[in-house]
């Protein structure tokens, strides 16, 4: 049965919270367990739908999955045979494409349907194909599936990615870890979750140099061993919590938030007047902020635009739009990566936001707007969270349907926000 959130706006979100583990790290790290017969133990794993789907997917391939305690997953892939990934589960999550690299390296073949996930525009896998082809794989495709094959062991190579794709970088890293010889990946993505994957490969006995930069050097080995690894905090969830506290006027301490990962967020949100500061490894959002857009030099309208890491994260652009509706002034928000991500703003217009969607990538927002409650539907993970935030600072009681999308990326959101003073409850439709 489907569920919805009933949300009463106008209440400050305050207190102390610890963010969940990084969803976008959990997914490639689960896939990396396929690179060894030994046990891989992952800690701080978020209990969210996308993670559960990928765990079900690797389990169907013969991986033994155990959960000895909350937040801990132990995986052992010594029973992986020739079975192909379940196409129905693959159709639910984008992360299914992460099986290509490790399964090619491990057994030389894999067949995958087009990956699922958020419908936020075209999500090409050409970069994955080009990277794996450079390592010696062949790829054939039709509208129903991609068939990856390798005749013998993959070979180390010079790989230049045609875009700094996170998941393509991760696939290339995992494939290169068991390839023969040295692989150099240039124009690599360097997000925190890519760095976590590099650290796990190192912990498994592999050799990865350059983590955190756009040039990686990987020495392939015949065999990797088991390892234990603790995921870092989900920086997108941290950004969501900063936004939520600022627009509702609450004072919030986010524990273990790794402030060094939020430098671009500090600049981008700062243009909207959102302030936060580091206190050790915590982030503190002051209460009762008077949000005002900071104009560029000469009084020009400022711009918030996403960029590859360490630039402003694309997953925070939907949240920036909501924050801009509550900040006095005008700002342009430019989302470059996905041509459908900003289409959710029609819901904000229905709530009273003053904005113009210029094209699929740009929206001009004039704040501060008085938002009023509406009945809404979540189109994807990040837009869903943006609508939750909008509802929590709106007047009246909103209903948000299709919250399964939000559950894909946020663990027990209603329970955790209720503990901070939010009026939000989950109901059966």
Domains in the chain, start-ordered, CATH in brackets? 3-20+233-428 (3.65.10.10), 23-230 (3.65.10.10)
Tokens of 67: 């959960």
> Residues 15, 252: contact at Cβ < 8 Å?
yes
Q: What's the confidence (pLDDT) of residue 128? A: 93
Residue 118 confidence class, pLDDT cut points 50, 70, 90:
very low
* pTM assigned to the model: 0.93
pLDDT category of residue 120 using cuts at 50, 70 and 90? very low
Q: Compute the average pLDDT of residues 320-343.
A: 94
How is residue 115 written in tokens? Answer: 């990956």
134's tokens: 């450079």
Q: Cβ(13)–Cβ(252) under 8 Å?
A: yes
pLDDT of residue 116: 58
* 4-18, 118-132, 194-208: the lowest-pLDDT one: 118-132
Q: For 339, list phi and psi in degrees, rounded to 5.
A: -80, 0
Within 13 Å of residue 408, how many CA atoms lie on the same side as its CB? 25
Sign of the CA dihedral with 79 first, then 80, 81, and 87 last: positive
Q: Give the number of C-alpha atoms closer than 13 A to the C-alpha of residue 135, restricted to the C-beta side.
A: 40
3-state secondary structure of 109: strand
The two three-digit tokens of residue 351, written as one number: 């709530």
Cβ-contact 88, 64 below 8 angstroms: no
Q: Please give the pLDDT value at position 102.
A: 96
Residues recognised as catalytic? 118
d(C-alpha 117, C-alpha 123), whole Å: 10
Predicted local confidence at residue 122, as pLDDT:
44
Return mean pLDDT, the chain: 94
Q: What's the average model confidence in pLDDT over 106-129?
A: 73
234-255 pLDDT tens trace: 999 999 999 999 999 999 999 9
Lowest mean pLDDT among 79-88, 102-111, 126-135, 216-225: 79-88
pLDDT at residue 123 above 60?
no
What 193-199 contacts at long range (C-beta under 8 Å, 24+ apart), as own/partner pairs, is 193/22, 193/24, 193/25, 193/28, 193/166, 194/28, 194/166, 194/169, 194/170, 196/22, 196/25, 196/28, 196/29, 196/229, 196/231, 196/232, 197/25, 197/28, 197/29, 197/32, 197/170, 197/173, 198/173, 199/229
Residue 61: pLDDT band with limits 50, 70, 90: very high
Kind and range of the H or E run holding 420: none
Q: What is the pLDDT of residue 9?
A: 97
For the stretch 387-409, pLDDT in tens is 999 999 999 999 999 999 999 99
- Rounded to whole angstroms, the Cα distance separating 53 from 244 reads 28
How high is the pLDDT of residue 117?
45
Who wins on pLDDT, 117 or 116?
A: 116
The two structure tokens encoding residue 384: 């869903």
Cα–Cα nearest to 258, from 250, 270, 266? 266
Under 8 Å between Cβ of 389 and 243:
yes
Question: Hunting for tokens 């009273």 — which residue is that?
Answer: 352
Q: How far is CA 105 from CA 30, 113, 153, 172, 227, in A?
A: 15, 19, 7, 10, 19
């Amino acid at each position: 049965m489907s569920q919805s959130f009933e949300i009463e706006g106008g209440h400050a979100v305050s207190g102390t919270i610890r963010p969940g583990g990084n969803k976008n790290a959990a997914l490639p790290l689960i896939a990396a367990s396929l690179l060894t017969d030994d046990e891989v133990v992952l800690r701080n794993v978020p209990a969210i739908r996308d993670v559960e789907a990928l765990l079900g997917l690797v389990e169907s391939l013969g991986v033994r999955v155990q959960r000895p305690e909350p937040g801990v997953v132990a995986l052992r892939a010594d029973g992986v045979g020739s079975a192909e990934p379940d196409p129905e589960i693959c159709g639910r999550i984008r992360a299914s494409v992460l099986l290509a690299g490790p399964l090619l390296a491990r057994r030389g073949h894999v067949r995958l349907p087009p990956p699922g996930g958020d419908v936020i525009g075209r999500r090409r896998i050409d970069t994955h194909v080009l990277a794996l082809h450079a390592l010696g794989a062949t790829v054939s495709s039709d509208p129903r599936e991609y068939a990856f094959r390798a005749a013998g062991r993959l070979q180390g190579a010079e790989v230049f990615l045609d875009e700094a794709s996170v998941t393509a970088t991760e696939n290339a890293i995992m494939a290169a870890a068991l390839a023969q010889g040295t692989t150099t990946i240039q124009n690599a993505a360097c997000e925190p979750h890519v760095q976590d994957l590099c650290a796990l490969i190192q912990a498994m006995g592999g050799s990865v140099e350059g983590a955190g930069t756009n040039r990686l050097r990987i020495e392939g080995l015949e065999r990797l061993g088991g390892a234990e690894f603790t995921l870092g905090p989900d920086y997108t969830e941290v950004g969501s919590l900063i936004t939520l506290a600022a627009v509702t006027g609450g004072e919030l301490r986010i524990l273990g938030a790794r402030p060094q990962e939020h430098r671009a967020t500090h600049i981008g949100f700062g243009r909207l007047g959102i302030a936060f500061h580091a206190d050790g490894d915590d982030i503190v959002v002051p209460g009762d902020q008077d949000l005002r857009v900071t104009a560029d030099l000469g009084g020009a309208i400022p711009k918030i635009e996403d960029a590859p890491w360490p630039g402003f994260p694309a997953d925070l652009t939907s949240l920036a739009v909501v924050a801009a509706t509550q900040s006095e002034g005008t700002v342009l928000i430019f989302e470059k990566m996905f041509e459908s991500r900003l289409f959710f703003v029609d819901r904000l217009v229905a709530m009273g936001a003053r904005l113009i969607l210029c094209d699929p990538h740009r929206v001009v927002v004039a704040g501060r707007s008085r938002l009023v409650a509406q009945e809404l539907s979540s189109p994807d993970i990040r837009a869903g969270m943006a609508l939750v935030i909008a509802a929590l600072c709106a007047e009246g009681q909103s209903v948000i349907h299709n919250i399964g999308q939000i559950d894909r990326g946020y663990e027990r959101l209603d329970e955790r926000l209720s503990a901070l003073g939010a009026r939000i409850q989950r109901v059966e439709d």
